[in-house]
Structure 1
Protein backbone atom coordinates (compact mmCIF):
# COMPACT_ATOMS: atom_id res chain seq x y z
CA UNK A 1 0.00 0.00 0.00
CA UNK A 2 1.33 3.44 -0.88
CA UNK A 3 1.30 6.46 1.33
CA UNK A 4 -1.00 9.39 0.68
CA UNK A 5 1.06 12.57 0.53
CA UNK A 6 -0.33 16.07 1.05
CA UNK A 7 0.73 18.94 -1.19
CA UNK A 8 0.28 22.64 -1.62
CA UNK A 9 -1.15 23.77 -4.96
CA UNK A 10 2.34 24.99 -5.93
CA UNK A 11 3.95 21.63 -5.17
CA UNK A 12 1.27 19.68 -7.02
CA UNK A 13 1.61 21.94 -10.07
CA UNK A 14 5.41 21.42 -10.11
CA UNK A 15 4.97 17.64 -10.05
CA UNK A 16 2.45 17.74 -12.90
CA UNK A 17 4.72 20.02 -14.93
CA UNK A 18 7.73 17.74 -14.40
CA UNK A 19 5.72 14.67 -15.42
CA UNK A 20 4.48 16.42 -18.56
CA UNK A 21 8.04 17.43 -19.47
CA UNK A 22 9.31 13.87 -18.96
CA UNK A 23 6.53 12.40 -21.09
CA UNK A 24 6.96 14.86 -23.96
CA UNK A 25 10.41 16.43 -24.36
CA UNK A 26 12.20 13.80 -22.29
CA UNK A 27 10.86 10.83 -24.25
CA UNK A 28 11.56 12.64 -27.52
CA UNK A 29 15.20 13.23 -26.57
CA UNK A 30 15.66 9.61 -25.49
CA UNK A 31 14.19 8.24 -28.73
CA UNK A 32 16.49 10.53 -30.77
CA UNK A 33 19.52 9.26 -28.83
CA UNK A 34 18.48 5.64 -29.46
CA UNK A 35 17.93 6.30 -33.17
CA UNK A 36 21.33 7.99 -33.52
CA UNK A 37 23.07 5.11 -31.74
CA UNK A 38 21.21 2.56 -33.85
CA UNK A 39 22.43 4.30 -37.03
CA UNK A 40 26.04 3.75 -35.95
CA UNK A 41 26.04 0.09 -36.87
CA UNK A 42 26.14 -3.29 -35.15
CA UNK A 43 23.97 -3.15 -32.00
CA UNK A 44 25.74 -6.07 -30.33
CA UNK A 45 28.92 -4.02 -29.85
CA UNK A 46 27.41 -0.56 -29.66
CA UNK A 47 28.03 0.90 -26.20
CA UNK A 48 26.25 4.13 -27.15
CA UNK A 49 23.09 2.17 -27.97
CA UNK A 50 23.30 0.25 -24.68
CA UNK A 51 23.73 3.52 -22.75
CA UNK A 52 20.76 5.10 -24.55
CA UNK A 53 18.55 2.07 -23.79
CA UNK A 54 19.63 2.17 -20.14
CA UNK A 55 18.83 5.90 -19.98
CA UNK A 56 15.42 5.10 -21.44
CA UNK A 57 14.82 2.57 -18.65
CA UNK A 58 15.75 5.11 -15.97
CA UNK A 59 13.56 7.73 -17.66
CA UNK A 60 10.52 5.44 -17.79
CA UNK A 61 11.11 4.46 -14.18
CA UNK A 62 11.05 8.11 -13.16
CA UNK A 63 7.80 8.64 -15.11
CA UNK A 64 6.26 5.63 -13.37
CA UNK A 65 7.35 6.89 -9.94
CA UNK A 66 5.95 10.39 -10.55
CA UNK A 67 2.68 8.95 -11.88
CA UNK A 68 2.36 6.89 -8.71
CA UNK A 69 3.13 9.90 -6.51
CA UNK A 70 0.49 11.99 -8.29
CA UNK A 71 -2.07 9.18 -7.99
CA UNK A 72 -1.64 9.28 -4.21
CA UNK A 73 -1.28 13.06 -3.87
CA UNK A 74 -3.90 15.06 -2.04
CA UNK A 75 -4.30 18.83 -2.15
CA UNK A 76 -4.71 20.51 1.21
CA UNK A 77 -7.08 23.44 1.51
CA UNK A 78 -4.89 25.62 3.70
CA UNK A 79 -7.74 27.96 4.63
CA UNK A 80 -9.48 25.18 6.60
CA UNK A 81 -6.49 24.05 8.63
CA UNK A 82 -6.28 24.59 12.37
CA UNK A 83 -3.52 27.01 13.39
CA UNK A 84 -3.63 26.16 17.09
CA UNK A 85 -1.19 23.28 16.58
CA UNK A 86 1.52 22.27 14.15
CA UNK A 87 0.25 20.23 11.17
CA UNK A 88 1.45 19.46 7.65
CA UNK A 89 1.82 22.76 5.71
CA UNK A 90 2.06 24.79 8.91
CA UNK A 91 4.54 27.65 8.93
CA UNK A 92 6.25 27.40 12.28
CA UNK A 93 8.53 29.92 13.93
CA UNK A 94 10.75 28.24 16.51
CA UNK A 95 13.44 29.50 18.84
CA UNK A 96 16.51 27.55 19.85
CA UNK A 97 16.41 27.83 23.65
CA UNK A 98 20.17 27.35 24.05
CA UNK A 99 21.37 30.14 21.73
CA UNK A 100 18.19 32.16 21.13
CA UNK A 101 18.31 31.74 17.32
CA UNK A 102 14.89 31.95 15.67
CA UNK A 103 13.99 29.97 12.54
CA UNK A 104 10.87 29.73 10.44
CA UNK A 105 9.99 26.56 8.55
CA UNK A 106 7.04 25.35 6.54
CA UNK A 107 6.33 21.63 6.93
CA UNK A 108 5.79 20.16 3.46
CA UNK A 109 5.90 16.78 1.69
CA UNK A 110 9.27 15.17 0.99
CA UNK A 111 9.21 16.12 -2.68
CA UNK A 112 8.51 19.80 -1.90
CA UNK A 113 11.20 20.11 0.78
CA UNK A 114 13.77 22.85 0.07
CA UNK A 115 15.78 24.08 3.03
CA UNK A 116 16.95 27.20 1.17
CA UNK A 117 13.35 28.41 0.91
CA UNK A 118 12.50 27.34 4.46
CA UNK A 119 10.51 24.22 3.54
CA UNK A 120 11.31 21.05 5.47
CA UNK A 121 9.88 17.57 5.03
CA UNK A 122 7.18 16.51 7.49
CA UNK A 123 9.25 13.32 7.85
CA UNK A 124 12.39 15.19 9.01
CA UNK A 125 13.41 14.92 12.69
CA UNK A 126 12.59 18.59 13.38
CA UNK A 127 9.13 18.36 11.78
CA UNK A 128 8.37 15.08 13.55
CA UNK A 129 9.22 16.73 16.87
CA UNK A 130 6.98 19.73 16.12
CA UNK A 131 3.86 17.97 14.79
CA UNK A 132 0.89 18.28 17.11
CA UNK A 133 2.52 20.87 19.36
CA UNK A 134 1.13 24.35 20.15
CA UNK A 135 2.53 27.85 20.61
CA UNK A 136 4.58 28.04 23.81
CA UNK A 137 5.37 24.31 23.86
CA UNK A 138 9.00 23.34 24.34
CA UNK A 139 10.25 20.32 22.42
CA UNK A 140 13.52 18.44 22.57
CA UNK A 141 14.51 17.15 19.13
CA UNK A 142 17.30 14.71 18.35
CA UNK A 143 19.19 15.88 15.27
CA UNK A 144 22.51 14.61 13.85
CA UNK A 145 24.37 17.20 15.95
CA UNK A 146 22.70 15.99 19.17
CA UNK A 147 19.66 17.07 21.18
CA UNK A 148 18.33 20.59 20.67
CA UNK A 149 15.52 22.19 22.64
CA UNK A 150 13.15 24.50 20.77
CA UNK A 151 10.23 26.66 21.79
CA UNK A 152 7.35 27.14 19.37
CA UNK A 153 6.88 30.90 18.99
CA UNK A 154 4.25 31.15 16.23
CA UNK A 155 2.12 28.93 13.98
CA UNK A 156 0.54 30.20 10.77
CA UNK A 157 -0.53 29.07 7.29
Structure 2
Protein backbone atom coordinates (compact mmCIF):
# COMPACT_ATOMS: atom_id res chain seq x y z
CA UNK A 1 0.00 0.00 0.00
CA UNK A 2 1.57 3.25 -1.09
CA UNK A 3 -1.31 5.68 -1.14
CA UNK A 4 -1.54 8.87 0.89
CA UNK A 5 -5.33 8.74 0.80
CA UNK A 6 -6.95 8.24 4.22
CA UNK A 7 -7.60 4.59 4.98
CA UNK A 8 -10.51 3.70 7.25
CA UNK A 9 -9.54 1.28 10.02
CA UNK A 10 -11.28 -0.02 13.09
CA UNK A 11 -9.46 0.63 16.37
CA UNK A 12 -8.70 -3.09 16.64
CA UNK A 13 -7.12 -3.15 13.18
CA UNK A 14 -5.10 -0.01 13.92
CA UNK A 15 -3.83 -1.50 17.18
CA UNK A 16 -2.89 -4.76 15.45
CA UNK A 17 -0.93 -2.94 12.73
CA UNK A 18 0.79 -0.74 15.34
CA UNK A 19 1.82 -3.86 17.30
CA UNK A 20 3.14 -5.49 14.13
CA UNK A 21 5.16 -2.36 13.34
CA UNK A 22 6.58 -2.27 16.85
CA UNK A 23 7.58 -5.96 16.65
CA UNK A 24 9.17 -5.55 13.22
CA UNK A 25 11.15 -2.42 14.12
CA UNK A 26 12.47 -3.81 17.37
CA UNK A 27 12.49 -7.57 17.83
CA UNK A 28 12.46 -8.80 14.23
CA UNK A 29 15.04 -6.30 12.95
CA UNK A 30 17.47 -7.45 15.67
CA UNK A 31 16.77 -11.13 14.96
CA UNK A 32 17.32 -10.82 11.21
CA UNK A 33 20.52 -8.80 11.70
CA UNK A 34 21.82 -11.60 13.94
CA UNK A 35 20.83 -14.23 11.34
CA UNK A 36 22.69 -12.28 8.64
CA UNK A 37 25.77 -11.95 10.82
CA UNK A 38 25.77 -15.67 11.65
CA UNK A 39 25.34 -16.60 7.99
CA UNK A 40 28.11 -14.16 7.01
CA UNK A 41 30.45 -15.98 9.40
CA UNK A 42 29.80 -19.23 7.53
CA UNK A 43 32.12 -18.11 4.76
CA UNK A 44 31.79 -17.49 1.02
CA UNK A 45 28.76 -15.24 0.55
CA UNK A 46 28.33 -16.11 -3.15
CA UNK A 47 27.22 -19.64 -2.34
CA UNK A 48 25.75 -19.04 1.10
CA UNK A 49 22.03 -19.80 0.79
CA UNK A 50 21.35 -18.92 4.43
CA UNK A 51 22.89 -15.49 3.97
CA UNK A 52 20.91 -14.76 0.82
CA UNK A 53 17.65 -15.99 2.38
CA UNK A 54 18.20 -13.79 5.43
CA UNK A 55 19.02 -10.76 3.24
CA UNK A 56 15.84 -11.37 1.21
CA UNK A 57 13.80 -11.58 4.39
CA UNK A 58 15.43 -8.40 5.66
CA UNK A 59 14.27 -6.64 2.48
CA UNK A 60 10.73 -7.94 2.98
CA UNK A 61 10.74 -6.77 6.61
CA UNK A 62 11.92 -3.28 5.65
CA UNK A 63 9.30 -3.09 2.91
CA UNK A 64 6.56 -4.08 5.36
CA UNK A 65 7.79 -1.48 7.85
CA UNK A 66 7.49 1.26 5.20
CA UNK A 67 4.02 -0.02 4.27
CA UNK A 68 2.82 -0.08 7.89
CA UNK A 69 4.24 3.37 8.64
CA UNK A 70 2.37 4.83 5.64
CA UNK A 71 -0.83 2.99 6.59
CA UNK A 72 -0.79 4.16 10.20
CA UNK A 73 0.11 7.71 9.17
CA UNK A 74 -2.93 7.97 6.88
CA UNK A 75 -5.34 5.87 8.95
CA UNK A 76 -8.73 7.25 9.83
CA UNK A 77 -9.65 5.32 12.96
CA UNK A 78 -13.36 5.17 13.66
CA UNK A 79 -16.24 2.81 14.03
CA UNK A 80 -18.03 1.60 10.93
CA UNK A 81 -20.73 4.01 9.78
CA UNK A 82 -24.35 3.19 10.45
CA UNK A 83 -25.82 1.89 7.22
CA UNK A 84 -28.14 4.36 5.49
CA UNK A 85 -28.88 2.33 2.37
CA UNK A 86 -25.90 3.84 0.54
CA UNK A 87 -22.62 2.08 -0.27
CA UNK A 88 -19.90 3.87 1.67
CA UNK A 89 -16.56 2.93 3.12
CA UNK A 90 -17.00 0.55 6.02
CA UNK A 91 -20.35 -0.94 5.04
CA UNK A 92 -21.28 -4.53 4.27
CA UNK A 93 -22.79 -4.69 0.81
CA UNK A 94 -25.14 -7.24 -0.66
CA UNK A 95 -25.13 -7.13 -4.43
CA UNK A 96 -25.85 -9.15 -7.51
CA UNK A 97 -22.70 -9.23 -9.61
CA UNK A 98 -22.93 -10.79 -13.06
CA UNK A 99 -26.16 -12.47 -11.95
CA UNK A 100 -24.72 -13.97 -8.74
CA UNK A 101 -25.60 -12.72 -5.25
CA UNK A 102 -22.59 -11.72 -3.16
CA UNK A 103 -21.97 -10.17 0.23
CA UNK A 104 -18.75 -8.28 0.96
CA UNK A 105 -17.15 -5.52 2.99
CA UNK A 106 -16.53 -2.25 1.18
CA UNK A 107 -13.26 -1.13 2.77
CA UNK A 108 -9.52 -1.08 2.26
CA UNK A 109 -8.00 -4.51 1.76
CA UNK A 110 -6.04 -4.08 5.00
CA UNK A 111 -9.26 -4.98 6.82
CA UNK A 112 -9.51 -8.42 5.21
CA UNK A 113 -8.12 -10.03 8.36
CA UNK A 114 -10.91 -8.46 10.43
CA UNK A 115 -13.69 -10.38 8.70
CA UNK A 116 -14.61 -13.60 6.95
CA UNK A 117 -16.21 -11.52 4.21
CA UNK A 118 -14.50 -10.78 0.95
CA UNK A 119 -13.26 -7.18 0.83
CA UNK A 120 -13.56 -4.84 -2.14
CA UNK A 121 -11.61 -1.59 -1.88
CA UNK A 122 -12.70 1.75 -3.31
CA UNK A 123 -9.77 1.47 -5.75
CA UNK A 124 -10.99 -1.84 -7.21
CA UNK A 125 -13.11 -1.86 -10.38
CA UNK A 126 -16.14 -3.02 -8.36
CA UNK A 127 -15.44 -0.42 -5.68
CA UNK A 128 -15.21 2.42 -8.17
CA UNK A 129 -18.52 1.35 -9.71
CA UNK A 130 -20.54 0.98 -6.51
CA UNK A 131 -19.36 3.74 -4.20
CA UNK A 132 -22.31 6.01 -3.44
CA UNK A 133 -24.93 3.71 -4.98
CA UNK A 134 -28.22 3.21 -3.15
CA UNK A 135 -30.12 -0.02 -2.69
CA UNK A 136 -31.75 -0.92 -6.00
CA UNK A 137 -29.26 1.03 -8.12
CA UNK A 138 -27.01 -0.60 -10.70
CA UNK A 139 -23.72 0.17 -12.39
CA UNK A 140 -21.22 -1.58 -14.63
CA UNK A 141 -17.48 -1.99 -14.44
CA UNK A 142 -14.96 -3.33 -16.94
CA UNK A 143 -13.79 -6.94 -16.70
CA UNK A 144 -10.17 -7.74 -17.57
CA UNK A 145 -11.36 -9.08 -20.95
CA UNK A 146 -13.04 -5.76 -21.76
CA UNK A 147 -16.62 -6.91 -21.18
CA UNK A 148 -18.85 -4.87 -18.89
CA UNK A 149 -20.05 -6.55 -15.68
CA UNK A 150 -23.27 -5.38 -14.10
CA UNK A 151 -23.61 -4.97 -10.35
CA UNK A 152 -26.90 -4.20 -8.57
CA UNK A 153 -26.98 -3.22 -4.90
CA UNK A 154 -29.53 -5.30 -2.98
CA UNK A 155 -28.60 -4.39 0.60
CA UNK A 156 -26.29 -2.30 2.75
CA UNK A 157 -25.55 -3.16 6.40
CA UNK A 158 -23.42 -1.76 9.18
CA UNK A 159 -20.10 -3.62 9.57
CA UNK A 160 -19.69 -5.36 12.92
CA UNK A 161 -16.13 -6.52 13.49
Output the CA distance in 2 between the equivalents of 1:14 and 1:108. 17
Q: Which residue of 2 aligns with 1:121?
A: 121
For the aligned residue pairs, the C-alpha RMSD in angstroms reads: 2.7
**CA shift digits 1:55-110 (9 cap, x unpaired):** 4344223212311221111113224x4523111111110124x63x2101111113
1:111-131 Cα offsets, whole Å, 9 max, x none, are 234796322222111111110
Give deviations 1:17-72, integer Å, cap 9, x for gaps.
3223322442132022122123334xxx4234863445434422321231122111
Q: What corresponds to 2:8 in structure 1?
A: 6
What CA distance in whole angstroms lies between the structure 1 residues aligned with 2:154 and 2:91?
A: 13
SS of the equivalent of 1:15 reads helix
Task: Give unpaired runs (5+ residues) of structure 2.
Answer: none
SS in structure 2 at match of 1:122: coil
Larger Rg: 1
Is the Cα contact below 8 Å between 1:129 and 1:139 reproduced in 2?
yes
Give the Cα separation in 2 of the matches to 1:85 and 1:46: 58
The match for 1:154 is: 155
Contact 1:86 1:130 (C-alpha < 8 Å) held by counterparts: yes
Q: How many residues align structurally?
A: 151
Report what 2:58 is aligned to.
56
Output the TM-score relative to the length of structure 2: 0.76
Q: Partner of 2:139: helix, strand, or coil?
A: strand
Match of 2:31 in 1: 29
**Residue in 1 that maps onto 2:87:** 86
Structure 2 Cα separation of the partners of residues 144 and 65 of structure 1: 27
Partners of 1:54 and 1:103 in 2: CA distance: 39
Distance 1:112 1:78, change over 3 A: closer
Q: In 1, Cα distance between the equivalents of 2:149 and 2:63?
A: 39
In structure 2, distance between residues paired with 1:34 and 1:67: 24
TM norm structure 1:
0.78
